[in-house]
Homo-oligomer: A and B are copies of this chain.
Amino acid sequence: MPQKVRIALDAMGGDVGASVVIPGAAISLNRHPDTEFLLYGNGALIEAQLAAHPAMKAVSRVIHTDVAVGMDDKPSQALRRGRKTSSMWLAIDAVKKGEADVAVSAGNTGALMAMARFNLRTLPGIDRPAIAAVWPTLRGDSVVLDLGATIGGDAHHLAALAIMGSAMARVLFDLERPTVGLLNIGVEEVKGGEEIREAAELLRSLNLPQLDFIGFVEGDGIGRGAADVIVTEGFSGNIALKAAEGTARQIAEYLRSAMSRTLLSRIGYLFARGAFNALRGKMDPRKSNGGVFLGLNGIVVKSHGGTDAEGFAYAVDVGYDMVRYDLLTKINQTLNRHGHTLAPASAVQEALS
């Protein structure tokens, strides 16, 4: 029997904290009984929740701390005040020390990324980290990255994103060689910034066995499922994600108001309730909860701060999968073999001087 998956939880993270984190983790534990938890945060609050979840209590160890990072703390503030003491830091530190395989937090993204980067450091060959998440598409799920960790980046950065994202897709979707597309504003070779065209050339010339580079994908290709992995720098990735979320909310609002407009439409709604429930399931943002920080010496998963227990459970599931199917090993194998080709020119010069 394989080793258990050891998950460190920031029990204070998110808009609500322990009353979402513990019940959420309990749901995930039910799906993956081979999990153990380290719970960081206010001991009394955590124990109160554990009392209602005996199965969870049986596989958890509680580590008390009074310090919690606020949802509005700036990253620098969080580091100054919460380093070595906050529940968020301690959960990440458990990964650093090898006491946990992955840390999951619903705390604020900037603080979590700052602490993860500061404590875990970037992988050899990786300059800057990324956030990746699962995006539901018409063809199934895709991995999209970077969703906002790093603004801009050259061709080497984009190629590194392709390698890390495809490792995540191999883990999550059990694919041998996921297809990878570069997000661009046209599919023709002449479009896009120079770094994107260079990244396309680089990925073509590398011709990696771990991924199948298919070229450029436009914004509407994401929802169509044009590739298993969609790669872009963090600004446009974040804009794409939020523009899509905004559109989904907008249409849900139109639909709600259309269905309650007339007596006939309300009757129609009653008949079609099952269909609307299925639609709601398809569009449930909780199911794509769980942003994975990539490019660090350890795995950290970010849950939405405002999610409920069901949503938090999905983020814990993502963390479980990343560990159980060896995300870091998969990334490192590719980087070790091809990392030299990815090193930006400046770093190469540095190494030679």
Q: Interface of A with B (CB < 8 Å)?
A: 74, 137-138, 148, 151-152, 183, 185, 188, 190, 192-193, 218-224, 232, 234-236, 238-251, 253-255, 258-259, 261-262, 264-265, 267-276, 278-279, 282-283
Contact status of A235 and B138, CB under 8 A, knowing A219-B246, A223-B243, A279-B258: no
Contact status of A248 and B251, CB under 8 A, knowing A239-B236, A274-B262: yes
Instruction: Tell me if A's interface is mostly helix, strand, loop or mixed.
Output: helix
Tell me whether B267 and A246 are in contact (CB under 8 A): no
**Docked complex Cα distance between A193 and B148 (Å):** 12
Tell me whether A219 and B193 are in contact (CB under 8 A): no
Contact status of A239 and B246, CB under 8 A, knowing A74-B190, A272-B265: no
**Docked complex Cα distance between A138 and B252 (Å):** 11
Contacts of A270 in B (CB 8 A): 268
Contacts of A185 in B (CB 8 A): 148, 151, 234-235, 238-239, 242
Tell me whether A248 and B246 are in contact (CB under 8 A): no
Contact status of A267 and B262, CB under 8 A, knowing A250-B137, A250-B224: no
Contacts of A183 in B (CB 8 A): 239
Chain B residue at minimal CB-CB distance from A280: B258
Contacts of A188 in B (CB 8 A): 74
